[in-house]
A and B are shown apart, each in its own frame.
Chain A
């Protein structure tokens, strides 16, 4: 009996030892040299693997940064400046601070503003719907509301508001990785500079139709009247094919354009109510509809965030 046990122990040990030796030599033979700094950088990165930097995952991004001489084309939108500074320290290179960004949805075409003139019955995907036709409304530029942006978001930073049927960005969760921007077939979502207290002024419309056509399809469409362009003291607003655009880098948040806009296509978000207007906390403008809706959304945002 004891001989059997002894034999078992010896034979198993022998097999183990042989295997260990083989493994050792194989490991030596196939050893790949890897810059140890890649691991260090990888450690610093947020490990979200969102692809927001343009590289396949955090590891790929780390490898690219370690190889590169200059860090200026690299930016991790999730970790932000803090992470980039740490990376720069490890690599002994300089990095400039970049403005943090946040995604904004440039469409306010809820059913109350933008009438549904047919009903889509295909697969629930914006990409499929947009390859088929111009959408449920008369506006062929706006949000299709099927949530491709929500599907690609890794950070729970965007959801479809049930009432408006439009995506809402949760500012606190948004890392500006840009996945939703790429997913949106109508390019409604834009990454804009993040202002303090999450204040935002932007044209919430991407309709390039002529004013009349646009207005007929959607009450809060930009009709290309150029009033905002004229009133802007900082030349931040440009008009492209009947649709205004506010350059976030030039905008000083003076809100003159928002007051001027006849269709309320320009939204002002997270501002205190204006003093000159009579006290009405939920709204600060002539036609309250769009504004109050937007304010509500932001309240929801706060709760969620």
Chain B
């Protein structure tokens, strides 16, 4: 029996069209727009102004707090301006816009391709390096990684969990990374283990990626303390809480963090970025992005510089299909629909999904028939039909006691609803209202 989390979950059609496309390096764009807020937490402070020359890897915006991250230039060239540009949040946000001239890298970056296994830095130095390199969770949540590695004194961590689940349908960027950059990733995991001071790391991979599982299983023999586990295909297994439950059968308490059960979760992409930052001194300015969709001519995985316009990726994959109805930044379950194709790729963008028109529109809404399918698929044990109703009626107290803050916004309820109700839309609204109330209560 393959491991998985015990309650709820759905299994949408996988549609992993790009699973066999090797990672290609995307040609340099003409201009990049790098948003200064690409992570959870305080936006960074721009360090450059119009006319400044920058090289690849130069710091262009500085972290403004503990929960914040540095941002580095992904290209070499001249800063055109710092202005508000429509980004993947759907709003105009401050971005550093750089005109590309050549490809000159900051001298401190080690551009050799050889694998460097020896870890020379101490744990404190590693965390500093990760902080300095602007690494955030690359699975999509974009939580600054150094925060997750700085364990408070009263907590004891005994296991590092590496998320190679990629439970979102369509996306394959982590999958390709695990096949093509497995050794680097494993060294990255060792670095993370050293930073956390743990002797055990578990890599969880869903069973729909047998090639990746086999490949890493072979390599992992040389890396003591790292284990690979195949998991049953079940969405939302990539959720931290579900993954911890599936791998080590510990339940993160409601409102708590993985820290509370002695675990830290990092994505495989993050592990790779950590390797590059610590061993090669290369800050985070590029990442693997899947460009896929049913009608896309050439579903691909690209190594993309942060700030590249989405349209560049689409061109490289054979152009925008005629029947495009929706362009999604991220996977189909949790991704965000884009309202412009000029939106820049950010650190958290694991894929761009192009949906044909016939799959772009929602089902027609009808009355709730109380079929309880939403209750049975909720991996958090909530009652989405009830939360939806309470959110519509703005019963915020009741929402809180019924656990709206436990919702991980995975979208399984809205996916399964035969009545086509926008359950998650309202639950998310209720959640944001309740979290505001909770915040104001704390003050």
Contacts and interface: CB of A to CB of B under 8 A. Distances in A.
Q: Do the two shown chains form a genuine complex with each other? A: yes
Interface of A: 117-118, 121-123, 125, 127-128, 131-134, 140
B246 to A, nearest CB: 30
Given A121-B361, A123-B422, A140-B92, A131 B428 contact: yes
B50 to A, nearest CB: 16
Contact of A134 (B339, B361, B429): B339
Interface in B334-380: 336-337, 339, 360-362
B432 interface: yes
Contacts of A127: 429
A127 B429 CA distance: 7
A118 B339 contact: yes
Contact of B428 (A121, A128, A140): A128
A125 B91 contact: no
A134 B340 CA distance: 11
Interface in B279-305: none
Nearest to B423: A123
A123 B425 contact: yes
Given A117-B339, A127-B429, A128-B428, A122 B92 contact: no
Contacts of B336: 132-133
29 contacts: A117-B339, A118-B339, A121-B361, A121-B362, A122-B362, A122-B422, A122-B425, A123-B425, A123-B426, A125-B425, A125-B426, A125-B429, A127-B429, A128-B426, A128-B429, A131-B428, A131-B429, A132-B90, A132-B336, A133-B89, A133-B90, A133-B91, A133-B336, A133-B337, A134-B86, A134-B90, A134-B91, A134-B339, A140-B91
Interface string B75-107: 000000000001001111000000000000000
A134 B91 CA distance: 5
Interface string B379-419: 00000000000000000000000000000000000000000
B423 to A, nearest CB: 9
A137 to B, nearest CB: 10
Contacts of B360: 121
B86, B361, B425, B428, most chain A CB atoms within 10 A = B425
Interface residues of B, number: 17
A67 B363 CA distance: 54
A156 to B, nearest CB: 20
A125 B425 CA distance: 9
A182 B39 CA distance: 30
Contacts of B432: 131
Contacts of A133: 89-91, 336-337, 339
Contact of A128 (B86, B337, B425): B425
Contacts of A134: 86, 90-92, 339
Contacts of A121: 360-362
Interface in B39-96: 86, 89-92
B358 to A, nearest CB: 13
- In this complex, the member of B86, B339, B362 whose beta carbon has the largest number of chain A beta carbons within 10 angstroms is B339
A242 to B, nearest CB: 12
A167 B225 CA distance: 63
A127 B89 CA distance: 15
A121 B326 CA distance: 11
A134 B93 CA distance: 11
A125 B394 CA distance: 13
A160 to B, nearest CB: 19
Contacts of B425: 122-123, 125, 128
Nearest to A124: B422
A125 B430 CA distance: 12
A127 B428 CA distance: 10
A128 B90 CA distance: 13
Contacts of B89: 133
Contacts of B429: 125, 127-128, 131
A132 B92 CA distance: 13
A281 B336 CA distance: 49
Contacts of A140: 91-92
User: What are the nearest 3 A-B pairs in CB distance?
Assistant: A133-B90, A123-B422, A123-B425
Contacts of A118: 339
Interface centre among B361, B422, B432 (most CB of A within 10 A): B422
A253 to B, nearest CB: 35
Nearest to A117: B339
Given A127-B429, A132-B90, 20 more contacts: A117-B339, A118-B339, A121-B361, A121-B362, A122-B425, A123-B422, A123-B425, A123-B426, A125-B425, A128-B425, A128-B429, A131-B432, A132-B336, A133-B336, A134-B86, A134-B91, A134-B92, A134-B339, A140-B91, A140-B92
A241 to B, nearest CB: 12
A134 B338 CA distance: 11
Contacts of B86: 134
B431 to A, nearest CB: 10
A127 B422 CA distance: 14
Nearest to A136: B339
Nearest to B365: A123
Nearest to B91: A134
A117 B337 CA distance: 14
A132 B429 CA distance: 10
B343 to A, nearest CB: 10
A122 B339 CA distance: 13
A132 B90 CA distance: 7
A14 to B, nearest CB: 45
A121 to B, nearest CB: 6
A122 B426 CA distance: 10
A117 B336 CA distance: 17
B368 to A, nearest CB: 14
A132 B432 CA distance: 12
A131 B425 CA distance: 10
Nearest to B362: A121
B389 to A, nearest CB: 13
Tell me which of A118, A122, A123, A134 has the highest count of chain B C-beta atoms within 10 A of its own C-beta: A123
A200 B261 CA distance: 62
Nearest to B392: A125
Q: Interface centre among B91, B336, B362, by most A CB within 10 Å? A: B91
Contacts of B337: 132-133
A118 B340 CA distance: 9
A19 B34 CA distance: 78
Contacts of B91: 133-134, 140
Contacts of A125: 425-426, 429
B87 to A, nearest CB: 10
Nearest to A133: B90
